[in-house]
């Protein structure tokens, strides 16, 4: 068993014999170079595991240079010192889960259980991440991979790139937090840990003018059912996700009430929303439309705004509808959440008291108001305020500004 001080020249000069030749490197203990009769040279490291000598293959020369072989041998022997068998580590890495499997486990065990916005997580996986990394080992994704994906996305959607970055970062942090998950996906680090945000963000204060509201309303009417979703947002000051996930069982159109369940509200409390006559008419129209659908799944969907491809789920993807609204209205910076802010601002301009406005927005009034009492607090005042706003809005979008004063009386 020859031991020599190997260098690049000596490795290159070693010739094969009639039988396999093996030499050990004096500079790196346990590192061996084998030369087959065919001339193939391969690196391996020899170590003792559970009282038995084992060999771990490091690669072939010249694909793996002497310097690389020494580095790999050092890492393998370090694993042994830590109590890990390099062969088992290699098998674990080979059999480790893919990013798609990690995404699925994250959705089932964390996102769907703890997050009201889990559908947005699923959308980001489906649209931005799985098309790139579906079959890639979760442990094989590097910081360079993350940066490249986010940089490409930021070119067309910088804020969305920040949202996707946050999701990647949290998925890996969640997986690394438990030993069983680390082992299943062979994870040692978070590839997004040191990736900075690609876009600077600030809080939006966008409120639409009368002319913009007129253009937006006409655009809403031109895009079908999703346009009604945007209208209801503007009329109720509800959040986009609250309207998009609205279910028929939450509505009492006779009493003009929408009862949002605690599972879907931001403060985790039931919220009773008074519906103005315009909102009721919109919902009655949607009800009639759904009843006339030929597809039984869509006709019987419990969702007011069901997913066209899967009527058992709510609609979640509003980006294309938003693009059509921007194009049709010429309001180039239109965002659905601005409708809630616009409604709230207009109500404040109309003199609606802060306490009533907070209840419309389902913001907390303090710890002294709880339970069922909280659900109907200022209900009549809220109903009057939203009814008045609806009348004013209809005047604006109908371009009957001369009648504004009489419409509010």
Give the model's pLDDT for residue 265: 81
* Token pair of 214 as six digits: 């007129």
- pLDDT (tens digit per residue) in 60-77: 999 989 999 999 899 888
DSSP 312-339: TSB----HHHHHHHHHHH--TT--THHH
Q: Decide if pLDDT at 367 tops 60.
A: no
Q: How many Cβ atoms from other residues are within 10 Å of residue 3's Cβ?
A: 11
How far apart CA 68 and CA 97 sit, in angstroms, is 27
- pLDDT (tens digit per residue) in 321-349: 999 999 999 998 898 889 999 999 999 99
Q: What is the mean pLDDT of residues 17-42?
A: 89
Q: Residue 113: CB partners within 8 Å, gap ≥ 6? A: none
How far apart CA 60 and CA 62 sit, in angstroms, is 6
CB 335 within 8 A of CB 204: yes
- pLDDT (tens digit per residue) in 126-147: 999 999 999 999 999 999 999 9
- pLDDT (tens digit per residue) in 163-215: 999 999 999 999 999 989 988 898 889 999 899 988 876 667 889 999 999 99
- Give phi and psi for 190, each to the nearest 5: -100, 110
Give the model's pLDDT for residue 403: 40
Q: Decide if pLDDT at 409 tops 90.
A: no
Helix (H) or strand (E) run with residue 252 in it: strand 251-252
Confidence class of residue 384 from pLDDT cuts 50, 70 and 90? very high
How far apart CA 134 and CA 125 sit, in angstroms, is 9
Confidence class of residue 98 from pLDDT cuts 50, 70 and 90? very high
- In this structure, the strands spanning 21-25 and 2-4 are parallel
- pLDDT (tens digit per residue) in 248-293: 999 999 999 999 998 878 777 889 999 999 999 999 999 999 999 9
Q: What is the mean pLDDT of the chain?
A: 87
Q: Decide if pLDDT at 372 tops 60.
A: no
How far apart CA 54 and CA 221 sit, in angstroms, is 73
Quick check: helix, strand or coil at residue 245?
A: coil
Q: Where are the beta strands (DSSP E) in 11-82?
A: 21-25, 31-35, 41-49, 52-61
Question: Between these two residues, 231 and 159, which has the higher pLDDT value?
Answer: 231
Long-range CB pairs of 258-264, under 8 A, 24+ apart, other chains included: 259/375, 260/362, 263/116, 264/116
Confidence class of residue 399 from pLDDT cuts 50, 70 and 90? low
């Amino acid at each position: 068993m020859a031991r020599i001080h190997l260098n690049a020249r000596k490795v290159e000069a070693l010739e094969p014999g009639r039988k396999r030749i093996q030499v050990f490197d004096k500079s790196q203990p346990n590192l061996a170079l084998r030369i087959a009769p065919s001339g193939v040279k391969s690196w391996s490291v020899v170590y003792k595991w559970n009282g038995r000598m084992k060999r771990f293959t490091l690669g072939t020369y010249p694909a793996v240079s002497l310097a690389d072989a020494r580095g790999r041998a050092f890492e393998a022997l370090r694993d042994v010192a830590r109590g890990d068998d390099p062969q088992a580590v290699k098998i674990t890495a080979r059999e480790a889960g893919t990013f798609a499997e990690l995404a699925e486990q994250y959705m089932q065990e964390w996102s769907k259980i703890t997050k009201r916005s889990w559908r947005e997580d699923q959308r980001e996986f489906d649209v931005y991440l799985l098309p790139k990394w579906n079959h890639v080992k979760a442990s094989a994704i590097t910081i360079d991979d993350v940066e490249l994906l986010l940089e490409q996305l930021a070119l067309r959607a910088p804020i969305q790139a920040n949202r996707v970055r946050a999701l990647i970062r949290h998925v890996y942090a969640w997986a690394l937090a438990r030993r069983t998950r680390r082992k299943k996906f062979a994870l040692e680090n978070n590839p997004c840990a040191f990736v900075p945000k690609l876009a600077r963000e600030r809080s939006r204060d966008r409120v639409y003018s009368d002319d913009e509201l007129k253009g937006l309303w006409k655009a809403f009417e031109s895009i079908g059912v999703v346009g009604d979703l945007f209208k209801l947002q503007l009329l109720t000051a509800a959040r986009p996700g609250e309207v998009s996930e609205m279910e028929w069982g939450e509505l009492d159109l006779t009493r003009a009430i929408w009862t949002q369940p605690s599972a879907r509200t931001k403060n985790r409390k039931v919220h009773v929303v008074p519906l103005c006559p315009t909102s009721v008419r919109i919902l009655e129209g949607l009800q009639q439309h759904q009843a006339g659908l030929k597809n039984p799944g869509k006709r019987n969907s419990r969702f007011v705004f069901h997913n066209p491809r899967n009527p058992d789920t709510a609609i979640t993807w509003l980006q294309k509808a938003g693009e059509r609204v921007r194009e049709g209205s010429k309001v180039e910076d239109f965002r659905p959440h601005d409708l809630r802010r616009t409604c709230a601002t207009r109500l404040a301009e109309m003199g609606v008291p802060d306490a009533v406005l907070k209840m419309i927005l389902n913001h907390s009034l303090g710890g002294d108001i709880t339970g069922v009492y909280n659900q109907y607090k200022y209900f009549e005042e809220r109903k009057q305020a939203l009814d008045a706003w609806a009348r004013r809005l209809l005047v604006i979008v109908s371009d009957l500004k001369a009648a504004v004063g009489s419409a509010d009386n």
